[in-house]
Amino acid sequence: MDLYKNPVFDMACRQFDAVADRLQMPDGDRLRLKSPKRALCVSVPVRMEDGSTRVFAGYRVQHHLSLGPTKGGIRYHPWVELGEVAALAMWMSWKCALTGLPYGGAKGGVAVDPRALTSGELERLTRRYTQELIGFIGPQLDVPAPDLGTNEQTMAWMMDTYSVHAGHPVPGVVTGKPVGIGGSLGRREATGRGVAYLAGRAMDTLGLAAEGATAVIQGYGNVGSVAAQSLVKQGLRVIAVGDATGAINNPKGLDLPHLERWVAERKTVVGFPESEPLPPEELLLLPCDVLVPAAMERQITESNATRLRCRVLAEGANGPTTPEADRILNERGDVFVVPDILCNAGGVVVSYFEWVQDLQSFFWSEGEVMDRLFRILEGAFVQTLGLARRDGIPMRLAATTLGVQRVWEAKKLRGLFP
Ligand code: NAD
C-alpha cells in the first residue's frame, strides 16, 4: 500500500494490526480490511481575487462498502495528503461500526489553508472540488460532512453544487448543513457534546466529581469550543485553551461566553483579556482532570506522554495519540483514555440522524436528537469498557476491536465484492 505511505496512515495500520493479531485474522482478510476500497485524487483550479489561477490538490477515500454508503468529513488544511485522508477514512470505518451505523468510512480533503482565502475563493474552491467528486459521492454512495477547516457553509455549497448537477435538491448528499436547508438540529454541537458526555462517563468510572474539576482544551474550533461549554455545564472549570495561533490560561476558569465573542471577532484565542499567555507546548502538560485534544493528529507522542498530568484523556480530535504514546500511557495506567473513535463519534451519529431525516423529509426536535445521541454513545461506552475490563486491554484496543469485528463479520457474510 505504498500509495498511502504517510505517518498517519502508518499509525492507523499499526492500530488495526494490533486488533488483527488479537483476533488471529488470516492474512487475506487482514489485507482486505486494511486496504481502502477506492480513492480519488483531483486537481482543483480556482480563480483567485487578483485574477491569477491556483491549483489545489483534492482527495476522497472510501475505505469499505460492506455495511452501507460511506461517510466522513472533508478537511481543508495545508498538510492534507492522500495517506492522511486514507487513515482518517479507516478510523471512520471502525467508528461507524462501533456505534452501529450502517456506513463504511470515508474522508476527503483539500491541501489548502482556508484562513488565507477569501470567502469567494473558498466558495469557488468548494464548488469545483464538489464538481470533481460528482459520480463518487451521493446519498446512497458516499456522504461528506464538515471536519477541520470546513463548516456548515462549506456543506451548503457542496449540497447546492451537487443539486444543481442533479436538477433537484439533494439534501442527503452531505450532512452538517445549515438547519435551513435540511440540516439537523444539534449537528453542529454533536461532536463536542458527545466528547463532554463521555469525559463525564470516564470521570464517573474513576469516581471523580465533576463539580470543581478542571479541563484543558487543545483546538478551539467546532469540537473544542462546544466540548468546553458542555464541560462547564457539567460543573468543570476550563482553565486553559489553545488554537493554531497560541494558548492561554486562567487557573480560576476562563469566561467562555466572553471568549466565544473574542474568537468570533478576532479568529484567535491569543490576547484574551482575562488570561495569561501560555507556550502552546505546555498546554497539554498542565495538571487537570480532563484533557481534550481537539485539533490535529499526533499531538501526544513519546516525547510528552510521560509528562501528561490529566486523569482523563478525552480524544476530540482524530488520531491525537501516537502508538508510542499509547504504550507509555498504558504502562503508566493512571490516565483513562476515551479513544477518538468512541469519544468524537457524536458527530457522525448525528450526521446519520441528519441523513435519515433528509431521506424521509421528516425532522426531529433537538431533544429527540440529543436523547438518541446519548443513548448510542452510552451503549458504545459500556460495550467498550466491558470488553476492556473483561480482557484486561486498553480502551482503544477494545473500541477498535468492536469496530473491526463488525466490519469483518459483514465482509464474511457478503463475500469478496464490497
Ligand atoms: P475546526 O476547524 O472547527 O477547529 C480546529 C481548531 O484546532 C481551531 O481552533 C484551530 O486553530 C486549531 N488548531 C489547528 N492546528 C492546531 C495546532 N497545531 N495546535 C493547536 N490548535 C490547532 O475543526 P473541528 O471540526 O473542530 O475538528 C477538530 C478535530 O476534531 C479534528 O481532528 C477533526 O478530525 C475532529 N473531528 C471533528 C468532527 C466534527 O464534527 N467537526 C467530528 C469528529 C472528529
Q: Cα–Cα distances in Å, from 255 out to 103, 259, 261?
A: 39, 6, 10
Q: How many residues does the chain have?
A: 418
21: confidence class by pLDDT, cuts 50, 70, 90: very high
pLDDT at 252 over 80: yes
| Number of separate domains in the chain | 2
378 assigned to some structural domain: no
**Domain boundary residue, one of 293, 315, 338:** 338
90 and 124 housed in the same domain: yes
d(CA 56, CA 146): 18
CA of 148 to the centre of ligand 1 (A): 5
Q: What's the average model confidence in pLDDT over 36-65?
A: 98
pLDDT at 2 over 90: no
121 and 260 housed in the same domain: no
Element (H, E) at 14: helix 7-22
> With a 6 A CB cut-off, is 36 part of the ligand 1 pocket?
no
pLDDT at 249 over 90: yes
Share of the chain above pLDDT 90, in %: 99
CA of 112 to the centre of ligand 1 (A): 15
pLDDT at 417 over 90: no
67 and 215 housed in the same domain: no
* pTM of the full structure: 0.97
123 assigned to some structural domain: yes
289: confidence class by pLDDT, cuts 50, 70, 90: very high
pLDDT of residue 418: 81
Ligand 1, atom 37: nearest CA belongs to which residue?
A: 147
pLDDT at 70 over 80: yes
355 assigned to some structural domain: no
Ligand 1, atom 23: nearest CA belongs to which residue?
A: 148
CATH code (residue 125): 3.40.50.10860
180 assigned to some structural domain: no
Boundaries of domain holding 150: 2-16+24-173
120 and 199 housed in the same domain: no
CATH code (residue 221): 3.40.50.720
pLDDT at 1 over 80: no
61 and 193 housed in the same domain: no
CB atoms within 10 A of CB 80: 24
169 and 268 housed in the same domain: no
**Mean pLDDT across the chain:** 97
> With a 6 A CB cut-off, is 219 part of the ligand 1 pocket?
yes
pLDDT of residue 260: 96
Helices (H), 336-394: 340-343, 346-360, 366-391
CA of 84 to the centre of ligand 1 (A): 15
pLDDT, tens only, 335-361: 999 999 999 999 999 999 999 999 999
d(CA 140, CA 214): 43
Q: Cα–Cα distances in Å, from 310 out to 198, 232, 239, 246?
A: 15, 17, 13, 20
pLDDT of residue 296: 95
Q: Which atom of ligand 1 is nearest to the CA of 145?
A: 40
pLDDT at 297 over 80: yes
**Domain boundary residue, one of 304, 338, 372:** 338
**Domain boundary residue, one of 338, 365, 388:** 338
Active centre residues (catalytic): 107
9 and 131 housed in the same domain: yes
Count of helix runs (H) and strand runs (E) in the chain = 14, 12
Q: Cα–Cα distances in Å, from 129 out to 43, 49, 70, 137, 149?
A: 8, 18, 18, 12, 15
- Coil/strand/helix, residue 257: helix
- Coil/strand/helix, residue 208: coil
169 and 264 housed in the same domain: no
Q: What's the average model confidence in pLDDT over 55-69?
A: 97
278 and 202 housed in the same domain: yes
Ligand 1, atom 40: nearest CA belongs to which residue?
A: 347
90 assigned to some structural domain: yes
Assess contact for 159 and 173: CB atoms under 8 A. yes
168 and 201 housed in the same domain: no
168 and 251 housed in the same domain: no
412 assigned to some structural domain: no
CA of 117 to the centre of ligand 1 (A): 18
pLDDT, tens only, 132-177: 999 999 999 999 999 999 999 999 999 999 999 999 999 999 999 9
pLDDT, tens only, 110-124: 999 999 999 999 999
76 and 205 housed in the same domain: no
226 assigned to some structural domain: yes
279 assigned to some structural domain: yes
Best substitution site from 150, 223, 245 to test ligand 1's pocket, by max atoms within 8 Å of Cβ? Answer: 223
d(CA 187, CA 327): 34
d(CA 209, CA 104): 37
- What cell was used for 82? 492522500
